[in-house]
């Protein structure tokens, strides 16, 4: 019987010669099946909870309390507590909806699209990014649901047999949004959960606490790593990735239709689907880095999340950022080339009008600062990367502010022009959802393996099996 020596260097001569120029490894050398399992599960299975975690958790719970307070206040008084009014009927609620849902897109991109492209570096970050998708979609869904004014009637959005004999308007992009976002949330949740099943079984077999063992065992569904199960599991996972890929592209395309099908100057542009999807990837990767950089440092996960991961994410941000910049350029071009008086005025108003600062802050944070990523020094320095990611987080919010508020506040009729100012409850709800996002993120870090253990195992030399061909 052939024995396999994992320490033997089996690379070809050419591969050895090029080794110094090869990218850094996706897994630090010397990691074994046991060391990987221990590294990831020990974060969850340690008996004492670190003080930093408790502090962060309580802080985010407090901010989430602000969200709940803002919701209660809104339900009591109505949408009038927000700054929305004619002509700016869409404001913070839609800005924040689009901002959050865009952030969520990186999770699906990393877990599905990079899986189809066989990018091995995705394995250490996909679980975290998928969790981020779920929490971001939970924050996003809140805004349009509350914006309906009477959220207890939100089920009217769904097609169901009713005594009023009414249907939702299937020709409206707002209804497409209902289907796109709810499908996206369901598929993301299922994708995340089936990815977790083998790791939940690992926790079940290692946890000491009997109550925790029962909970992990319940959700592990009795997973035992059978070869027949793995066969169907891998097939289902791959097909799910294939289904999620067009899905994630369709979700932000549909979100962009909310604007692009309107006739308002600044919304009515065919470039919208492309640059919304690119912007979602841009924003999502920025948020993954914003959270993963501190988590990696705090939990010492450098062996599993190497410099290669940071570099690659920075490159994806750079490319998607350039597509976004192309979108901004196209808007300028359309305004000139359309020869439409209103389109031209929209662009002048956007760059030089009362909200001029938001446009130029957007250009600075979303286009100019991300150009730092061309430098390898910036890409391999966590402080600079964190700075650029924060800049993009702010920039992508400003982008939606510019598109929504600045386009709406001066439309066709000068008599209906007005200025928009958010109220403290607008800010309360927005900041509150960040608390909710962090609240779930803290719980996730403490209770579930934040990296996909079984997928990282396949990166070890031990997992490389030679097949028999007969």
Partner 1 sequence: MSHGNAIQETGMFGLLAEFSSAQALVDAAEAARKAGYSRMDGYSPFPIPAMDHALGIRNTRLPWLIFAAGVTGCLAGFGMQYFASVIHYPLNVGGRPANSWPMFIPITFEMTILFAAVTAVFGMLIINGFPKHYHPVFNVSSFARATSDGFFLAIESSDPKFHEEETRAFLNSLSPVEVSDIAR
- In the bound complex, what is the minimum distance in angstroms from residue 339's beta carbon to partner 1? 27
CA dihedral for 438, 394, 123, 195, sign (positive or negative): positive
Say if residues 397 and 287 touch (Cβ distance below 8 Å): no
The minimum distance between CB 173 and partner 1, in angstroms, equals: 8
- Minimum Å gap between C-beta 42 and partner 1 is 12
Residue 109 is given by DSSP the state: I
Q: What is the 3-class SS of 346-373, one letter each residue?
A: HHHHHHHCCCHHHHHHHHHHHHHHHHHH
3-state class of 375 per DSSP?
A: coil
Characterise 339 by phi-psi region: left (phi > 0), alpha (psi -120 to 50), beta (else). left
- Nearest approach, Cβ of 72 to partner 1 (angstroms)? 32
Contact residues for partner 1, defined by CB under 8 A? 1-4, 6, 32-34, 37, 159, 165-167, 170-171, 173, 175-176, 179-180, 183, 186-187, 190-191, 193-194, 198, 201-202, 204-206, 217-218, 221-236, 239-240, 243-244, 246-247, 250, 254, 257, 454-455, 457-458, 462-463, 465-468
Give least dist CB 303 to partner 1, A: 17
Query: Least distance (Å) from partner 1 to the CB of residue 371?
Result: 35
Quote the CA–CA distance of 407 and 94 in Å, as a whole number.
13
| Residue closer to partner 1 (CB basis): 67 or 240 | 240
Q: Which is nearer to partner 1, 175 or 307 (CB)?
A: 175
Judged by beta carbon, residue 377 or residue 466, the one nearer partner 1 is 466
- Judge whether 241 and 112 are in contact, CB under 8 Å: yes
Output the smallest distance, CB 448 to partner 1, in A: 15
Q: Which long-range contacts (CB under 8 A, 24 or more apart) does 394-397 make?
A: 394/361, 394/365, 395/361, 395/362, 395/364, 395/365, 395/366, 395/367, 395/369, 395/370, 396/99, 396/102, 396/103, 396/279, 396/282, 396/283, 396/286, 396/366, 397/95, 397/99
Residue 346 CB partners (closer than 8 Å, separation 6+) = 265, 266, 335, 407, 410
Please say which residue, 247 or 362, places its beta carbon nearer to partner 1. 247
Using the minimum distance from each CB to partner 1, give the nearer residue, 236 or 348: 236
Cβ proximity to partner 1, 176 vs 425, nearer residue: 176
Whether 292 contacts 128, CB under 8 Å: yes
Is residue 372 within 8 A of residue 388, CB to CB? The reply is: yes
The nearest distance, CB 261 to partner 1, in angstroms, is 10
Handedness of CA 211, 215, 218, 221 (dihedral sign): negative
Angle (deg, nearest 10), helices 227-260 and 92-108? 150
- In the complex, least distance from residue 99 CB atom to partner 1, rounded to whole angstroms: 22
Residue 244 or 433: which CB sits closer to partner 1? Answer: 244
Between helix 341-352 and helix 307-337 the angle, nearest 10°, is 130
Q: Rounded to an integer, what distance in angstroms lies between the CA atom of residue 12 and that of residue 264?
A: 61
Structure tokens, 364 = 């600075």
Q: How far is the CB of 143 from partner 1 (least distance, A)?
A: 20
Shortest spacing between CB 34 and partner 1, in angstroms: 5
Q: Give the tokens for residue 242.
A: 């294939």
Beta carbon nearer to partner 1, 239 or 447: 239
Token couple for 328 = 């901004």
SS3 7: coil
Whole-Å CA distances, 113 to 110, 223, 242: 6, 26, 8
Which CB sits closer to partner 1, 224 or 302?
224
308 touches 25 (CB < 8 A): yes
Residue 377 or 468 having the CB closest to partner 1 = 468
Which of residues 167 and 419 has its CB atom nearest to partner 1 in the complex? 167
């Amino acid at each position: 019987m052939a024995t396999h020596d994992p320490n033997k260097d089996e690379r070809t001569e050419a591969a050895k010669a090029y080794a110094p120029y090869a990218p850094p490894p996706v897994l630090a050398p010397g990691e074994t099946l046991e060391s990987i399992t221990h590294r990831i599960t020990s974060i969850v299975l340690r008996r004492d909870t670190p003080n930093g975690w408790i502090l962060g958790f309580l802080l985010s719970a407090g901010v989430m309390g602000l969200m709940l307070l803002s919701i209660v206040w809104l339900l009591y008084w109505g949408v009038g507590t927000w700054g929305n009014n004619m002509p700016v009927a869409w404001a913070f609620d839609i800005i924040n909806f689009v901002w959050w849902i865009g952030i969520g897109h990186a999770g699906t991109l990393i877990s599905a699209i990079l899986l189809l492209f066989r990018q091995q570096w995705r394995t250490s970050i996909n679980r975290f990014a998928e969790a981020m998708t779920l929490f971001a979609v939970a924050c996003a869904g809140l805004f349009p649901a509350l914006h309906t004014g009477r959220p207890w009637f939100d089920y009217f959005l769904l097609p169901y047999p009713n005594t009023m004999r009414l249907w939702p308007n299937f020709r409206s992009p707002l209804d497409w949004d209902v289907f796109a976002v709810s499908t996206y949330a369901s598929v993301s949740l299922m994708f995340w959960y089936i990815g977790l099943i083998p790791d939940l079984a690992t926790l079940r077999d290692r946890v000491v606490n009997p109550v925790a063992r029962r909970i992990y065992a319940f959700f592990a569904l009795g997973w035992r790593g059978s070869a027949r199960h793995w066969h169907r599991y891998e097939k289902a996972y791959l097909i799910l990735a294939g289904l999620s890929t067009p899905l994630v592209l369709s979700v932000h395309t549909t979100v962009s239709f909310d604007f692009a099908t309107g006739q308002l100057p600044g919304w009515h542009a065919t470039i919208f689907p492309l640059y919304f999807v690119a912007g979602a990837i841009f924003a999502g990767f920025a948020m993954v880095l914003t959270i993963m950089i501190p988590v990696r440092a705090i939990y010492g996960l450098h062996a599993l999340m190497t410099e290669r991961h940071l570099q690659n994410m920075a490159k994806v941000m750079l490319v998607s950022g350039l597509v976004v910049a192309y979108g901004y350029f196209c808007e300028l071009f359309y305004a000139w080339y359309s020869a439409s008086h209103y389109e031209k005025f929209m662009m002048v108003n956007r760059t030089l009008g009362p909200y001029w600062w938001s446009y130029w802050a957007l250009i600075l944070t979303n286009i100019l600062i991300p150009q730092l990523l061309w430098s390898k020094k910036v890409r391999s320095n966590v402080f600079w990367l964190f700075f650029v990611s924060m800049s993009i987080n702010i920039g992508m919010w400003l982008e939606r502010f510019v598109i929504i508020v600045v386009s709406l506040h001066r439309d066709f009729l000068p008599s209906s022009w007005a200025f928009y100012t958010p109220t403290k409850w607008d800010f309360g709800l927005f900041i509150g959802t960040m608390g909710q996002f962090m609240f779930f993120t803290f719980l996730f870090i403490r209770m579930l393996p934040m990296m996909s253990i079984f997928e990282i195992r396949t990166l070890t030399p031990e997992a490389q099996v030679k097949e028999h061909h007969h």
